[in-house]
């Protein structure tokens, strides 16, 4: 009887030990699996945070860039992006040809020798850059005359610039957009002669 009792006790002890070992092994396995899942989730979170950080930097850079250019150049960039014309959606620079420098004749869109020389210089600068650039040519006027007249004159002058760049420098027409602001976006006081000279201008906005 004593021997049987001893055997039962030994069996219970062995069963408990084996069960305890199995339980510890199971716990270790489950703990390892949980840790692996936690690491995976943490990795995903860190990856998402990295992407968000890069997006925020890109957005901040874009906002900074937009704050450094003129309102009409910002609008040109938006129009080109909306039309799908840009590879990178970047503003490169803006060249402004004012009437007192390029000498547009009164009530005419014909380019003067000074205007052509300025455009030749502009074209040479373009040749040193990526051929994928896109240009918006904006025609601006002073406030002398009717709104309709000024809008038409601004467009005619911008179109003259477009045709010159195409014919004299073989710049593709599909990479150039023409728009007239007329008298709507003055950069100087129209009450003075000098102010009106500045407002009568053609702006070339270069984008990529």
Q: 10-residue block means of pLDDT along the chain (208 residues)?
A: 52 52 57 60 58 45 54 96 94 90 75 93 86 93 94 95 96 96 95 91 96
Q: What is the pLDDT of residue 83?
A: 95
pLDDT at 8: 53
Say how far apart CA 168 and CA 122 lie, in whole Å.
12
**pLDDT given for residue 28 in this prediction:** 62
Query: Using an 8 Å Cβ cutoff, are 199 and 188 in contact?
Result: yes
- What pLDDT does residue 59 have? 39
Q: In the prediction, which pLDDT does 127 show?
A: 86
Longest dimension (CA), the chain: 129
Q: What is the pLDDT of residue 88?
A: 92
The per-residue DSSP string of 121-170 comes to HHHHHHHTS-TT-EEEEEEE--SSS-HHHHHHHHHHHHHHHHHHHHHHH-
Judge residue 120's burial from the number of C-beta atoms within 10 Å of its C-beta, 0-12 exposed, 13-18 middle, 19 or more buried: middle
What the block records as the tokens of 159 is 């179109």
Q: How far apart are CA 200 and CA 102, in angstroms?
A: 10
Please tell me the chain's helix, strand, coil percentages from 3-state DSSP, rounded to the nearest 5: 60, 15, 25
Q: How many CA atoms lie within 13 A of 6 on its CB side?
A: 3
| Beta-bridge partner residues of 202 | 97, 139
Looking up tokens 């007239």 gives: 180
What tokens does 111 get?
């380019």
Q: What is the pLDDT of residue 120?
A: 96
């Amino acid at each position: 009887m004593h021997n049987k009792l001893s055997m039962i006790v030994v069996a219970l002890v062995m069963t408990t030990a084996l069960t305890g070992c199995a339980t510890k092994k199971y716990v270790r396995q489950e703990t390892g699996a949980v840790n692996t899942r936690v690491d995976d989730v943490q990795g995903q979170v860190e990856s998402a945070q990295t992407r968000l950080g890069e997006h925020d930097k890109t957005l901040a850079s874009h906002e900074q860039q937009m704050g450094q250019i003129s309102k009409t150049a910002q609008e040109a960039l938006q129009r080109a992006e909306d039309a799908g014309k840009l590879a990178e959606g970047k503003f490169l620079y803006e060249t402004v040809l004012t009437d007192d420098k390029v000498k547009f004749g009164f009530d005419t869109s014909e380019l003067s020798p000074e205007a052509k020389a300025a455009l030749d210089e502009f074209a040479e600068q373009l040749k040193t850059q990526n051929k994928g650039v896109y240009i918006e040519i904006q025609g601006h006027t002073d406030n002398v005359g009717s709104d309709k007249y000024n809008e038409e004159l601004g467009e005619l002058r911008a179109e003259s610039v477009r045709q010159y760049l195409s014919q004299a420098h073989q710049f593709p027409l599909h990479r150039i957009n023409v728009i007239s602001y007329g008298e709507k976006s003055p950069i100087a006081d129209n009450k003075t002669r000098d102010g009106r000279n500045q407002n009568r201008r053609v702006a070339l906005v270069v984008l990529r």
